[in-house]
Structure 1
Amino acid sequence: MAALLSLVLLVGALASDVLVANSALTIPLLVSALVSAGVLAWGVPRLRQLKLGQVIREEGPQAHLSKAGTPTMGGLLVVPVGVLVGAWISPGDPRLLATAAITAAYMAIGAVDDWRSLTRRTNTGLTPRGKLALQALAAVAFLAWAAWGGWLGGGAPGDVGLPLGWVLPLGLLIWPLGLFVFLAESNATNLTDGLDGLAAGCGAVVFSGMALQLMLRGNAGDPALAGFCAAMAGCWLGFLTQNRHPARVFMGDTGSLAMGAALSAVALLSNSLWPLLLMGGVFLAESLSVILQVWVFKATKGPDGQGRRLFRMAPLHHHFELGGLPEQGVVLAFWGISLGLVLLGLVLLPT
Structure 2
Amino acid sequence: MDSKFADSRSPKLAGWHLLLFLSLSSGAFLVGLDVIANELLPAQMSLFVPFVICALAVGAAGQWTVPMLRRIKAGQFIREDGPQRHLKKAGTPTMGGIFFIPVGVATAAAGSGFYPDVIAVCTLTLAYGAIGWLDDWQILRRKSNKGISPKMKLALQVGFAVLFCLWMARTGPDAASAIALPLGLTLSLGWLFWPLATFVQVAESNATNLTDGVDGLMGGLGAIAFLGMAAHLAPTSPELTLFCVCLSGSCLGFVTHNRNPAKVFMGDTGALALGGALAGVALLSNSLWVLLILSGIFLAETLSVIAQVLYYKATKGPDGVGKRLFKMAPLHHHLELCGWSETQVVGCFYLVQALLVWVGLVLGA
TM-score (norm 1): 0.96
Distance 1:22 1:33 in 2: 25
Distance 1:31 1:323 in 2: 39
CA 1:131/1:197 → structure 2, altered by over 3 Å: closer, same or farther?
A: same
Matches within 5 A, 1:33-48: 33-48=55-70
Distance 1:50 1:298 in 2: 40
Distance 1:152 1:125 in 2: 39
Matches within 5 A, 1:59-208: 59-150=81-172, 153=175, 157-208=176-227
Amino acid in structure 2 at the alignment position of 1:10: G
CA-CA distance at 1:151 after TM superposition: 6.9
**1:45-71 deviations in whole A, cap 9, x for unaligned?**
111111100000111111100000000
Amino acid in structure 1 at the alignment position of 2:112: S
CA-CA distance at 1:317 after TM superposition: 0.2
Distance 1:80 1:276 in 2: 23
Question: Any runs of at least 4 consecutive aligned residues in structure 1 with deviations exceeding 4 A, and if so which?
Answer: none
Name the % identity. 53
Distance 1:264 1:146 in 2: 13
CA-CA distance at 1:152 after TM superposition: 7.0
Distance 1:152 1:138 in 2: 21
CA 1:150/1:170 → structure 2, altered by over 3 Å: closer, same or farther?
A: same
Q: Does 1:4 align with 2:26?
A: no
Amino acid in structure 1 at the alignment position of 2:255: L
Counterpart among 260, 264, 288 of residue 273 in structure 1:
288
Amino acid in structure 2 at the alignment position of 1:199: M
Counterpart among 211, 233, 241 of residue 248 in structure 2:
233
* Higher mean C-alpha displacement, 17-26 vs 75-84: 17-26
**1:20-78 deviations in whole A, cap 9, x for unaligned?**
12343212211111101110111111111111000001111111000000000000011
Distance 2:114 2:156 in 1: 28
CA-CA distance at 1:92 after TM superposition: 3.9
Amino acid in structure 2 at the alignment position of 1:15: G
Matches within 5 A, 1:239-258: 239-258=254-273
- Give the aligned partner of residue 332 of structure 1: 347
Aligned length: 343
CA contact (8 A) 1:158 1:173 kept: no
CA contact (8 A) 1:151 1:269 kept: no
* Higher mean C-alpha displacement, 121-130 vs 24-33: 24-33
Distance 2:183 2:320 in 1: 49
* Higher mean C-alpha displacement, 173-182 vs 142-151: 142-151
- Give the aligned partner of residue 323 of structure 1: 338
CA-CA distance at 1:158 after TM superposition: 3.2
CA-CA distance at 1:89 after TM superposition: 2.4
CA contact (8 A) 1:312 1:319 kept: yes
Unaligned runs of 5+ in 2: 1-17
CA-CA distance at 1:195 after TM superposition: 0.3
**1:226-256 deviations in whole A, cap 9, x for unaligned?**
1100000000000011000000000000000
Counterpart among 312, 319, 326 of residue 304 in structure 1:
319
* Higher mean C-alpha displacement, 287-296 vs 298-307: 298-307
CA contact (8 A) 1:53 1:118 kept: yes
Amino acid in structure 2 at the alignment position of 1:168: L
**1:300-340 deviations in whole A, cap 9, x for unaligned?**
11111111211110000001000001111001101110011
3-state SS of paired residue (1:83):
helix
3-state SS of paired residue (2:187):
strand
CA contact (8 A) 1:103 1:258 kept: yes
Distance 2:360 2:68 in 1: 40
Unaligned runs of 5+ in 1: none
CA contact (8 A) 1:152 1:271 kept: no
Distance 1:230 1:84 in 2: 12
CA 1:99/1:308 → structure 2, altered by over 3 Å: closer, same or farther?
A: same
Distance 1:58 1:151 in 2: 49
CA 1:132/1:311 → structure 2, altered by over 3 Å: closer, same or farther?
A: same
Distance 2:157 2:131 in 1: 7
TM-score (norm 2): 0.92
Distance 2:87 2:242 in 1: 39
Amino acid in structure 2 at the alignment position of 1:165: G
Amino acid in structure 2 at the alignment position of 1:279: L
CA contact (8 A) 1:152 1:268 kept: no
Matches within 5 A, 1:283-302: 283-302=298-317
Distance 1:106 1:333 in 2: 28
Distance 2:137 2:24 in 1: 35
Amino acid in structure 1 at the alignment position of 2:94: T
Distance 2:347 2:254 in 1: 16
Distance 2:138 2:180 in 1: 40
